[in-house]
Amino acid sequence: MLLKNKVIFLTGGTEGIGFECAKIYNAAGAKLSIVSNSERSIEEARLKLQTEDILYIKADVAVAADIQQAIIETVGYFGKIDVIHNNAGISNPSKALHETTEDEWNALFNVNVKGVFNTTRYGIEELKKTRGNILNTGSLVGEIGQEIHAAYSATKGAISALTKSMALDYAPYGIRVNAVAPAGVWTPMLRVWSQQQPDANSIENYLDDIHALGYCPEGDVVADACLFLISDQARFVTGCILPVTGGAELGYRRVINQTVQAIQEKNDHI
């Protein structure tokens, strides 16, 4: 049991990748404090994962006071924190930068980036006690960008930069800091994004095609990588942005090349 007696503070752990992480962490012996801002989502997760080893807390990662209290509640309940997994995130809107409103921009950065600031600010002293580690859920788009998704991509780029800087800052305390960077993963958030695309009917095939391994996966493939990174098996890994992409960074280029080739063939026939 890779996480036996470990206490994981997991944000956004009631659905999608976060819920898959919650399941595998619990199965690996961890105790969990799961934070979500949705009461409905918490109740649904509670029905699926019924165990005394999980504490559910309704809190918003973008609100400092909420996270400060959530950390206090977690330590009061379990006595310590070994890992903070910053998984909570939003992806709306799917727009070019000039079409993004100020409210939409602020919401993305408040949840995706300020959320990491808040959990670190209020949780770092607990991690110093346990020589624990931090895991951030990033994205491949933080490295390569994404069409009509500029603000979201910017938040994930920030996550990558934060991860590396935090790894340097906290290494003297024995605290590791890493990130996972998925590509397409079938989650409720991805399905919403899919419906916002200009040709929504073709998105499923597109997502399958961009992954070199030939399919867009479910969240369990990311959860397996997360389990490794927060466990002692990764005890000498820090500052790592681990792609869990099925080769999508290669697949994007493949799809683009296929499109260019199709255009060229069409022009040759004109």
Q: Which residues are catalytic?
A: 152
Cβ atoms 6, 85 nearer than 8 A: no
Cβ atoms 33, 55 nearer than 8 A: yes
Q: Which residue in the block uniquely carries the two structure tokens 């930068």?
A: 97
**Is 264 exposed, middle or buried (CB count within 10 Å of its CB: 0-12, 13-18, 19+)?**
exposed
3-state secondary structure (DSSP) of residue 12: coil
Q: What is the dihedral of CA 201, 245, 133, 6, to 10 degrees?
A: 70
Cα–Cα distance for residue pair 90/104, rounded to 1 Å: 10
Give me 198's structure tokens. Answer: 């200009």
Closest to 4 measured CA to CA, from 22, 27, 38, 21: 27
